[in-house]
Each structure stands twice: as C-alpha cells, then as structure tokens.
Amino acid sequence: MVDDGYVNYFEILGVAEQAKPGEVRKTYRRKMKDLVLEIARVEITEERRAHYLLEMAKLNAGLCLLRDVARRNAYWEERNELMGLEQEWREADVKGADTDALRRAFDAKLRDFLSKYVEELMLDAGRDKECVEASHWDAAHERHASRILRHYRQGLHQKILERLPYAEVTPPKIDWDERRRVIAGIVAAKGD
Amino acid sequence: MARKAPRSQEKIVDIEIVAKALAKAVSEGDFVNFCLLFHPASPAREDSPERFETDKYAYLLPDDALEADPRFRESLAVVRRVETRAYIAAELRANRPARLPSALLLPLADNALRLGKYTSAAQAYELLRIRGRMQDELFRQADAALDGHDIAGGVRGYVAATGLAYNYAAFPEPLPAVADFERRALMLHGNYPETPEDCIGLQETGALLRTALSYLLLDPAAAARLEPRPEDIRVAFLRELVAKRDPDWPAFAVRFREAVAMADEFGDRPAGEGAPEGESTGTLAAEIEQQLRADPTRIMAHLVGRELAHAEWWQYLKELAYKHPPAPLFVARQTVGDVEILAPRARPDSPVTRTLGLSWQAGLDA
C-alpha cells in the first residue's frame, strides 16, 4: 500500500511502532531541544519561520498522539483503513468497475483524517503543558501556525489526490513537447 | 437522496447549439461557463427545464463576430470531432455529475492563459493535474527569455506563471490565488512609517526593487528568482511589469508629479495656515476659502484622480491600488494636523523613479 501523504507520526518522531510512552517522551525532548538550538543559531526569515513552526507543530502532535496508547492505536487503525480504501478504489478503477461510491467514501474519510490528525491535533498539541514547556509554544505561534498548518494539510491532500485515478475529468493525454511549444508562444506573445 | 428532476417530454436540445456554446467557452477560456454547460441545471441537458432559447442564456452562445474568429472555429472543430461529440452527448444524458472531457479542457486552459484569464487557466490545469508543471515550465522559459535580454518576454512568462499560483491554504477548498492589490496595498501600509526608510519609495534601489517585484508579482518566491540578476535588468523588468499591471500608468505619473508639487506647496505654508480648525480672521467666505485651499486631503484626492466623500487615507489607498496597482509603492501615510493622508514619496534620483516617469526634477525622467 502507498503511504505517502498519510502523516506518519512514528516516522516524524523517529520511534518504532511498539515504542513505549517513556521512549516517545525521551525522543521528543531530544528532538525538540535540537530544533530549538537550531532555531537559535540561524537568522529567522519568513520562509524559515514557517518551516520551523511546522516542524515544531509536528513534533508536538507526535508526542501528544503517541504517548497515549489508546489514541495512538485509533490513529494507526484509521490510517490503515484509509490506505486500504485507497487501494480498493485503485483496484476497482483498473477493473473498470463503478468507483463513484468508493471515491466518495475515500474522499470524506481522507478529509476527516487530515483535519483531525494534521490541523486539529497540531493546534491542540500546542496547548498541552508538556509541549508548551519543551517548545515554548504560545498564542503568537498558534496565530502564525494556523495558516501554515492549513497549507500543509492541503499539500498532503494534493499529494494523495495526484496519484489517484481521475474522477472529475477524463484522463488527459499530455504531450510535453506540445506543452513547451504552447508556453513558448505565450512568452513570445504569439497568437494574442 | 437527491430528488430527480422531472423530465421535460417536449424538450429536445440541438447538439449543434451545445457544440457552439462549448466552443465559445473553450475559445474564450471560460472555465465557469464550460462547467455550467455540464451542470445538472444546464440548458444543454434534456432533463433540465432551462433552455438556450431564453434571453438569460444568450451569453452562452457565440455572436456573428465570434463565429468568424479563427480560435472559435478551431475550438468548434475540436468539439465536432465524432468521439468528442459522442462523449459530450453521453455525459449530458447521464444521471450523475459529468466527467469533463479533457480534450476540451486542455485547449480551454491554454486559451485562458493566452488571454490572461489566469484564475480560469489555473482551475483547468489543476483539474488536469498539470498546473505545477506548467508553472515550472513558464518560469524556465521566462528565465531563458531574460537571459537573452528579452525583458518583455520574461515579464509575460513571470506574470503567467505567478497567475497560475494556487492557494492550498484557502478555506475550505484550495482556490486560485488572485491579484488582490487593494488588500495587499493595505498590508504594505499597515504600519505608520517612523523613519524615511520605512517609506517604500524612499528605500535604496535594491530594497525597493525587492519589495516592488514581490508585491507586483504577488509571489515573493518568484521575485526571489530575479534577485541574482543585475540591477539594470531588474529595473527594466519592473518597468515592463508596471506597464503590464497598469496600462494607465503614464496618467498616474503625471498626477504623481503634480501631487509632489502640491505637497511641497503645503509644506511651505506658515505654521497654522493649514490647520482645519485654525484661528482665522476676516469674513466667513475668506475663512472657508482658506480652509479649502489648505486641506491636505487634496493631495491624496489628486493622486487618486477624484475626491472621495468623507473618506480616510485607507479608502483612498484601496481605490489607488485598484486603479493603479503599482502606485501604493510610491505613497506613504503622513499625519498633517489631526488628519492622516497619503503623500507621494519617491527619491527623484533613483533609477526606479526615473524609469517609471515619476521624477519631478527636470531632465531626470527616462
């Protein structure tokens, strides 16, 4: 099953799927300390601020989710179910079956998953006492982060949608040599 | 469960009319009309109560001038292809959301891009999943044009590439990014300038170019691509970009120079003369005349080209940005007495000011 785009907090924190909550906390604190030191070392530009806020939000969310075994299991189950649904849709599409219902079900679940485990979880984690202590996350971070997290969520959504079968349009036949000619015409202002 | 629309027994849609309406949408790069023709309430569907013959749908059909247009005829030929026509007919009969034919969507997107309808082009390319790659290719060819000193070509490429930008952070659905200069101009002037360097027009050339290109291209990343190029190329690029964003720029340049003279005249007044509630002697008529003459809001009204009733500086700024998108780069907020106005701000000796025709010192204009 392809898992690119389905946010994986085990990978983000760099811990095994069986890692105990204590190990999760230890890894989180080490990673957050490295990140805070790195932020202190570099000059903060607009682009870097967005990058570091996102990294911080991901680590915070990783801690909040993985230190709680019940929550972690629910997340992993939902993630696997979603990937299974994607696989099912792709297989049905290859067979030429009617995939409309599958597509709708997948789309609704995907939106729900990304909202819950990207935007909402990351913002909630910023209010967690343990996360606030380690990352110094405050209301100003949250204000900046909401747009960045939305962007990140949509980016993941887009990454997943791009590999799925075409649903709203017929699959296009793209000839990139012809595309380059079209663009050359636009840059040279031909045919205006 | 959705209620099925009652089928109109007597309604027969002429497929030739549908073909012409689709060809019009394709040739004009009109994504909205194109989607409307496949919509459940489209006049092109036999199960819809809407009809092409009614006045409200006349805009979907080509007029005589358009029918003679080569781009329309080319689009019509694509729509009339047997397999495309059969596909369209089948989709219009199907009782489900239509799958749009990519064979028509691709030329529609290309035409939209040619005509500068970037929102339409971005949406169509996004559906075809080639928007990002088209953007990359546009940037690549625009950079190649700039390498060959084709400034106009470079600007066309950059404007088209940034026009295809998509805002994935838009809520609830990602949307094409739009050229909302009225909003961006307010952000540009969000803080009151404390020092002359805070006024964009008074900054040194490098900083001014960075801000101007980022603001006018609507994309700081695209502006950053131009950073390594020599200053004269970036100044020439800015001149072309200003002309593209505001074809009426020369008219603003004239008003800007006149506003500079007005601001100088106002600054030379003896203290107290310009105060709206100033103590005045003589007749009432003389007092009114003096107040009108000394009203500092005349400066921003002159910059905009008309007076706005009871308007604040930011209302003038929004109108200025709407009429002349590059203009907010050369104004700054200024408190005069108890009113805040927009005043013209530029360095007369700057290459940017000279090349844009804003320099008020004789013999300095490019």
Q: Return the domain boundaries, chain B.
A: 15-114, 130-178, 185-366
pLDDT of residue A3: 82
CA distances from B68 to A189, B31, B81 (A): 22, 22, 19
Complex prediction ipTM? 0.83
Q: Does A184 reach chain B within 8 Å, measured CB to CB?
A: yes
Taking the CA of residue B324 and the nearest CA in chain A, the distance in Å comes to 23
Interface test with B, best of A183, A190, A192 (most B CBs within 10 A): A183
Check whether B38 has a pLDDT greater than 90: yes
Separation of alpha carbons A82 and B217, rounded Å? 39
Q: Is the pLDDT of residue B97 over 80?
A: yes
Q: What is the pLDDT of residues B174-187, one digit of tens each?
A: 889 888 999 999 99
Closest CB to B99 among A170, A173, A182: A170
What pLDDT score does B287 carry? Answer: 60
B9 contact partners, CB below 8 Å, separation of at least 6:
none
Q: Output the CA angle B305-B180-A156, nearest 5 degrees.
A: 175
Handedness of CA B116, B122, B124, B128 (dihedral sign): positive
Q: Are A169 and B174 in contact (CB < 8 Å)?
A: no
Summarize pLDDT for A85-124 with one digit per residue, the tens: 999 999 998 888 888 889 889 999 999 999 999 999 999 9
* CB contacts, 8 Å: A148 with chain B: 169
Nearest to B118 by CA among B233, B31, B45: B31
B102/A contact by beta carbon, under 8 A: yes
Residues of chain B in contact with residue A150, where contact means CB-CB under 8 angstroms, are 168-169, 171
pLDDT tens digits for range B131-189: 999 999 999 999 999 999 999 999 999 999 999 998 887 767 788 988 899 999 999 99
The DSSP output letter for B100 is B
| B171 contact residues in A (CB cutoff 8 A) | 150
Res. B284: pLDDT tops 90: no
pLDDT < 50 positions in chain A = none
Query: A191 — phi, psi (to 5°)?
Result: 80, 15
User: Is the Cβ pair A170, B100 closer than 8 Å?
Assistant: yes
Is the pLDDT confidence value at B9 over 70? Answer: no
**Residue A110 C-alpha, separation from nearest chain B C-alpha, in angstroms:** 14
φ, ψ (nearest 5 deg) of residue A102: -60, -45
Q: Which of B137, B141, B169 sits opposite A151 (nearest CB)?
A: B169
What one-letter code names the amino acid at B122?
Answer: A
Judge whether residue B274 has pLDDT over 50: no
Q: What is the pLDDT of residue B165?
A: 93
Contacts with A192 from chain B: Cβ below 8 Å: 114
Q: Which of B130, B145, B152 sits opposite A174 (nearest CB)?
A: B130
Q: With 70 as the cut, is the pLDDT of residue B41 above it?
A: yes
User: Using CB atoms and an 8 Å cut-off, which of residues 81-110 of chain A contact chain B?
Assistant: 100
What is the arithmetic mean of pLDDT over B101-109? Answer: 97
CA B71 to CA A190: how far, in whole Å? 13
How far is Cα B227 from Cα B57, in angstroms, rounded to an integer? 49
pLDDT band for B272, please (50, 70, 90 cuts).
very low
The amino acid at B243: A
Task: Using DSSP, state whether B63 is helix, strand or coil.
Answer: coil
Touching check for A165 and chain B: CB below 8 Å? no
Percentage, residues of chain B above pLDDT 70: 88
Q: Kindly list the residues from chain A whose CB atom is less than 8 angstroms away from the CB atom of residue B132.
A: none
Q: From the list B103, B114, B129, which residue is nearest A186 (CB)?
A: B114
Whether the Cβ atoms of residue A139 and residue A40 lie closer than 8 Å to each other: no
Cα angle B140-B145-B149, degrees, rounded to a multiple of 5: 145
d(CA B105, CA B128): 8
Contacts of B83 by beta carbon, 8 Å cutoff, 6+ apart: none
Residue B1: is its pLDDT beyond 50?
Answer: no
Mutate to test the interface with A, among B99, B146, B164, B167 (most CBs of A within 10 A): B99
Among B99, B98, B124, B100, smallest CA distance to B111 is for B124
Output the pLDDT for position B361.
72
Determine phi and psi for B332, rounding to 5 degrees: -145, 155
Q: Could you tell me which residues are beta bridge partners of residue B335? A: B340
**pLDDT tier at B29 (50, 70, 90 boundaries)?**
very high
Q: Which residues pair with B344 in a beta bridge?
A: B331
